Chain A
Amino acid sequence: MLNADVEVERRSFTVRATLSVAAGERVALFGASGAGKTTVLEAIAGLVPMSRGSVSLAGRMLSGPGVAVPPWRRRTGLLRQDPGLFPHLPVRDNLRYGSRGAAAAELEPLAAVLGISDLLAAMPARLSGGQAHRVALGRLLLAHCDALLLDEPYSGLDAALRRTLTALVRTLVRDRAVPAVLVAHELADAQAFADRLLVLDRGSVLQAGSPSSVVLRPASRRVASLVGYLGFAPAGRGLAGVHPDRVVPGALPDRGPVLTGTVLASRPSGAAWEADLLVGDTPVTCKLPDQPTGPELVITVLDPPYFGPDGNAIDRPAADARACPGARSSS
């Protein structure tokens, strides 16, 4: 169990985050670059001093009033984009660097799970990016860290490799029952990994919840922009958030508000088409299965979140009802 209540002064703003991660649970800190995500991890690992707050891990107090356990006694494993293998040690010695002999019998089985059994004698300079990450992960696991902190570890790798490694980490976190925190600036990475998502912006947590509730029911327009809403069109009781992925062509009034817009531009995007529309005087971007033909386009925004003039979501009760199936809708 990792409990962190972190407050770190940075040059332009203060980073404040509270998170509590159970053993085997996976939490993602999601936000734009420079939002303070890495700072939170580094405060947990003891690499940056906190101005206030506390960190406890597996029942041990790591930081708090009058307590500051140094990084080497925290047993927090940190994996960054640079795997940080020791270049002067072969893979085997890298793996057992933090294990102090006790985990020697564990090394071979873990290497097999990680798919690096053939590389134990190789030097790190000979490894590919993905292999180096597997070794770095194995090194943390053999050191028996009480928490896994992952700082965008795979952002430099290609998509297929990223998927494989994410799945591997998910399994290992579950099997070993350690709390895991992933920092990501790509929503897809955070969603693929985490049970729970914390949206961080300029040092503050704007919203916390399951990945789907955060994406489908953002608490504010700021969160909505961060998770990919590209337009806010007046509809019904306020501004409907338009996520490009949650738009279908045609009028389906029982599925959500129907908008009519002028096509400004369109381009291929993956296996679909992305179109920029002007709805009234609001620009909206949406994804469509086919290239739009005429100058006018009718779309339905599927069950969008609505935002009031203050930028906060209205219709929260409905959102809560959706998050907990069985609860009675009160709207």
Chain B
Amino acid sequence: MSLQILHVDFDAFFASVEKARNPLLRNRPVAVGNGVIASCCYDARRRGLYNAMPLSRARRICPDLVILDGSYPVYRAFADQIFDLCRAISPNVETFLDEAYVELTGTRRLHGSGKSVGRELRKTVRAQTGLPVTVGVGSSRMIAKLAGKSVKPDGLGAIPPGEEAVFIGPLPVRDLPGVGYRYGEILEKLQINTIAELRAVPAEALTRLFGSHGEILYRRCRGEDSAVIEEQEMPKSVSRETSFHVNTSDRREVEGMLSYLSERAVKTVRELGLETRTVHVRIRYAGGGGESKSKSLACPTSLHEPVLHMALWLLDRIWTRREALHLAGVSLTNIGPPRARQTDLYEEEGARREESLTGALDRVRDRFGFGAVVAGKSLDLIDRLERSDHGFVLRTPSLTR
């Protein structure tokens, strides 16, 4: 039985949610973000705005732009509603922040063709949430995603089995998953601009250029993709960062903030039933410029203590200028399912205590909000920041978690 996969992409997600919630915004350019655009609607994009553009520049280009701070819980609620609609079609759904893959393989007798399932899904999503989504249908994740991309926004694209190679041939080489910015640049220097042109390159040449990744590209440019749909959400990274309300050189405030941000990030990883192995810390100085550094832990963890210990160690190594900080952030990568844990001669007792303490804190916070408990170094933030049930009120609220 050949695979059939549906890719659901939420068009301009944050901005679309804001428009769905407030009809007055309907025909106006809307952007969500703080400092830079996290998401902007298609009205704004037509005026030349794009994601990650600094808001100051966006305001100059588009003076009537409506800028909103956004709120993660609201977006999550909308996303969950769409994910539930996907799960009504098939049990095998892989979700991300603003997209989902649904495996349709073996549901033809039940639901009919992939294209008709896609059409139905778009209709129900629009009716129940008011949001536009683009649906792509294909024989692999890659083809489904590219099929959707070719009809964005608010469209439906389906590639019949056997036509994958013909369909992707004329697409720009950078659209091929796994090419990205750096490899795209190398390929374009070699006058390889479309996926069809990439197909003309022999496998050995690609391996010489990109190592083992070359083999993957060799298969992908022929429309072959073997990645499967995994029900578990496996983020590549979980990041939390914020600028300070007032630039600060107070070590306790910075450490408190890193503690708070890392505690939130690691809780997210833990909620997904996963563990992280690598900790990154990023700072920006008040006068501009910044530093970042990362290091892997000896053992993957889902607990706060080892992550904080590493984050503070990294901070010591990057905060070398005697200058106030404007921003601090933590991100966790190398995320994966839990493995056997190497026990420690000296910290076993502590680790076990932290495990049970973490479980207890999670139960309290799940019931009364993250802000219900402030612990450890984050206590230094109490007199410095306002607090709500959700936690401290940061200058840059997180929109992704």
A binds B: no
Binding site for A on B (CB under 8 A): none
